[in-house]
Amino acid sequence: MHEWALAEGVVTAALDAAAKQKLVRVTKLVVRVGALQRISPDFFRKALSSVLPEDDPRLESVEFELSAEPAVMGCRGCGHTFEPGQAGDLDADQLEAIHFIPELAHGYLSCPKCESSDFDVRQGRGIWLDAVEGER
Ligand SMILES: [Zn+2]
């Protein structure tokens, strides 16, 4: 499952950030999970906990703050931005298809304002490490 690789990536990035900020303890990681990623924040929290290196004292009491970032599409025709839920209901398979091949969204969705199907995925893909908090 690629969740574990993503979780390891977040932890690696957090340790890099902690080293740059010269933190002796990391108290909180703030992570955003894109809606098109199809990983629930609760599940990703568990994945993060399970990939923490046991021998790194900086992470002994780290907490995770996870939030879901909604998917947002931006119309290339009129500039309108919209969430997939406003443009017709998508099922999980369609959302997954859009995540891996964003071009497929054009077959499922059109801009609610001008009905163009020419748009980009602006938000909702990927996982971001927003902040690393800790003590120096
Ligand atoms: Zn439009």
- Conformation bin of residue 118: beta by default, left when phi > 0, alpha when psi is -120 to 50: beta
pLDDT in tens, 20-73: 999 999 999 999 998 887 788 888 999 999 999 988 999 998 999 998 888 898
**Distance, CA 9 to ligand 1 centroid (Å)?**
36
Taking the centre of ligand 1 as the mean of its atom positions, its distance from the CA of residue 118, in whole angstroms, is 8
Q: If phi over 0 gives left and psi between -120 and 50 gives alpha, with beta otherwise, what is residue 127?
A: beta
Residue range 2-69+124-135, CATH number: 3.30.2320.50
Domain boundaries, the chain: 2-69+124-135, 72-122
In sequence order, the 6+-apart residues with CB closer than 8 A to the CB of 124 are 34, 35, 36, 37, 69, 70, 71, 72
CA gap 44, 59 in Å, rounded: 17
pLDDT in tens, 87-104: 456 677 777 777 667 666
What spacing in Å lies between the alpha carbon of 87 and ligand 1's midpoint?
A: 11
Full-model pTM: 0.77
